[in-house]
């Protein structure tokens, strides 16, 4: 069950954590300033408070923002939240302990400096506790301030006014904290959803590309062999060669290996591409007139591009051999050209047959739609054009 739960966890990009850490650092710097003001106020008006209380507060609460800053810069966020919770709890305990620590009749000024420390405790509570508990924490700190000031100042009216003022200020501080943290969490969710959506789209595109590749492979070799058994049965050697090719591609399907027939390298030189394409075209159309050209500075061809274009070219040559006929019914002459230059490559396969009407070809004819057009459309920068007037010409291009 533990492994299943771990697998179900959503990925995290740390955006929300960075927002929280940045806010805590800024809050800690501000908290140091607020506590410094409170300490100066105590030195001016609170010297009558019990020395034991003063020492305890100066050790446990006064340096709390500085401790939070150090932990936020070096520790985990869990450690930061622990420090902030400790700050809130210690502040509440020491504030209540202030009631017996103030001599009777000291007046409102004796604890007026406490007001400067209250916003720091409220903001710490807004970060340390879950969002649903933050309003209760703010209200609790305000009630605490009212109780302490009412007991030590002897003026409930002053205590009420200060508690109301702190409620408004605390709401602003806590609201700002929740807004910043909420923005970080929202951006985290949006980023995660965008990444997952992109991954799903890439998965769908990959599956579609693989279906096209497999469908083209099945048509090119396996179905072509099965449909032409009768024609090739007159030549035992040709039958065995075709069967070997079909079995090899069946083995490739079982491996689901996307590398194709070209060398298993990321890039092919122009010469390697031309040689690989020439061998495949000659196998498909032994009588074809083949011309090649490699310009100076010719580009290297990525292996997936080479695989797709060579397979599409072979299918075009095979179509010309099987279907192209002259007006008297004789097999048409087939020609092919390969050219690679510094911009990319171009391939042309043509025949002098009677041509065909491209619009009349059914969409389910895999030789044209899948083995040629489908393959080429999966390659960025590749285009395919088919012209059929006086004969048929298939032009394939790829530009880097």
pLDDT number for residue 303: 86
143 touches 163 (CB < 8 A): yes
**If pLDDT is split at 50, 70 and 90, which confidence band does 5 have?**
very low
Query: How far apart, in whole angstroms, are the C-alpha atoms of residue 315 and residue 398?
Result: 17
382 touches 396 (CB < 8 A): yes
pLDDT number for residue 381: 84
What integer is the mean pLDDT of 121-135? Answer: 89
Worst-scoring range by mean pLDDT, 20-34, 36-50, 195-209? Answer: 195-209
Worst-scoring range by mean pLDDT, 65-74, 140-149, 199-208, 233-242? Answer: 233-242
Return mean pLDDT, the chain: 79
What integer is the mean pLDDT of 268-288? Answer: 89
**Residue 140 pLDDT > 70, yes or no?**
yes
What integer is the mean pLDDT of 333-362? Answer: 83
Query: How far apart, in whole angstroms, are the C-alpha atoms of residue 188 and residue 180?
Result: 12
pLDDT number for residue 245: 59
Q: Which residue has the higher pLDDT, 387 or 135?
A: 135
Query: How far apart, in whole angstroms, are the C-alpha atoms of residue 341 and residue 293?
Result: 8
Worst-scoring range by mean pLDDT, 34-48, 135-149, 208-222? Answer: 208-222
With pLDDT > 90 as the criterion, what percentage of the chain qualifies?
Answer: 20
Q: Which residue has the higher pLDDT, 373 or 243?
A: 373
pLDDT number for residue 8: 45
pLDDT number for residue 298: 93
What integer is the mean pLDDT of 225-248? Answer: 57
- Fold for domain 263-399? Heat Shock Protein 90 (3.30.565)
75-119: pLDDT as tens digits = 898 999 999 999 999 999 988 998 888 887 777 777 888 888 888
**Residue 135 pLDDT > 60, yes or no?**
yes
Residue 347's H or E segment, with its range, is strand 344-351
* Angle formed by the axes of helices 156-217 and 303-323, nearest 10°: 40
pLDDT number for residue 379: 79
pLDDT number for residue 240: 64
* pTM to 2 decimal places: 0.51
**If pLDDT is split at 50, 70 and 90, which confidence band does 357 have?**
low
**Residue 32 pLDDT > 60, yes or no?**
yes
40-85: pLDDT as tens digits = 888 887 677 888 988 998 888 889 999 999 999 988 989 999 999 9
162-176: pLDDT as tens digits = 888 888 888 888 888
**If pLDDT is split at 50, 70 and 90, which confidence band does 206 have?**
low
**Which residues, other chains included, contact 268 with Cβ-Cβ below 8 Å and sequence gap of 6+?**
262, 276, 300, 301, 302, 303, 306
pLDDT number for residue 241: 63
Query: Would you list the domain boundaries of the chain?
Result: 9-195, 263-399
């Amino acid at each position: 069950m533990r492994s299943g739960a771990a697998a179900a966890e959503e990925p995290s990009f740390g955006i929300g954590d960075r927002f929280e850490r940045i806010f805590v650092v800024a809050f800690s710097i501000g908290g140091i300033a607020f506590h410094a003001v409170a300490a100066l106020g105590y030195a001016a008006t609170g010297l009558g408070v019990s020395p034991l209380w003063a020492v305890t507060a100066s050790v446990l609460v006064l340096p709390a923002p500085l401790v939070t800053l150090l932990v936020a810069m070096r520790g985990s966020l869990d450690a930061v939240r622990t420090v902030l919770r400790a700050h809130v709890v210690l502040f509440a305990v020491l504030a209540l302990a202030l009631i017996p620590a103030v001599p009777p009749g000291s007046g409102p000024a004796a604890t007026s400096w406490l007001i400067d420390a209250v916003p720091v405790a409220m903001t710490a509570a807004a970060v340390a506790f879950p969002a649903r508990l933050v309003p209760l924490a703010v209200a609790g700190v305000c009630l605490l301030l009212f109780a302490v000031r009412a007991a030590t100042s002897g003026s409930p009216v002053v205590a009420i006014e200060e508690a109301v003022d702190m409620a408004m200020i605390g709401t602003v501080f806590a609201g700002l904290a929740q807004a910043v943290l909420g923005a970080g969490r929202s951006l985290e969710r949006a980023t995660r959803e965008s990444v997952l959506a992109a991954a799903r789209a890439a998965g769908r595109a990959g599956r579609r590309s693989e279906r096209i590749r497999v469908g083209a492979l099945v048509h090119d070799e396996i179905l072509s062999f099965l449909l032409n058994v009768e024609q090739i049965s007159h030549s035992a050697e040709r039958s065995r060669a075709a069967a070997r090719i079909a079995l090899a591609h069946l083995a490739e399907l079982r491996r689901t290996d996307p590398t194709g027939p070209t060398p298993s390298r990321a890039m092919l030189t122009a010469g390697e591409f031309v040689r690989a394409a020439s061998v495949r075209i000659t196998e498909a159309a032994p009588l074809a007139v083949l011309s090649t050209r490699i310009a100076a500075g010719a580009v290297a061809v990525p292996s997936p591009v080479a695989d797709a274009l060579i397979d599409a070219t072979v299918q075009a040559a095979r179509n010309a051999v099987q279907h192209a006929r002259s007006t008297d019914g004789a097999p048409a002459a087939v020609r092919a050209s390969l050219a690679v230059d510094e911009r990319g490559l171009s391939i042309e396969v043509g025949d002098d047959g009677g041509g065909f009407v491209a619009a009349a070809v059914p969409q389910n004819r895999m030789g044209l739609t899948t083995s040629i057009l489908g393959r080429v459309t999966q390659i960025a920068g590749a285009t395919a054009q088919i012209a059929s007037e006086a004969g048929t010409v298939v032009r394939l291009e790829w530009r880097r």
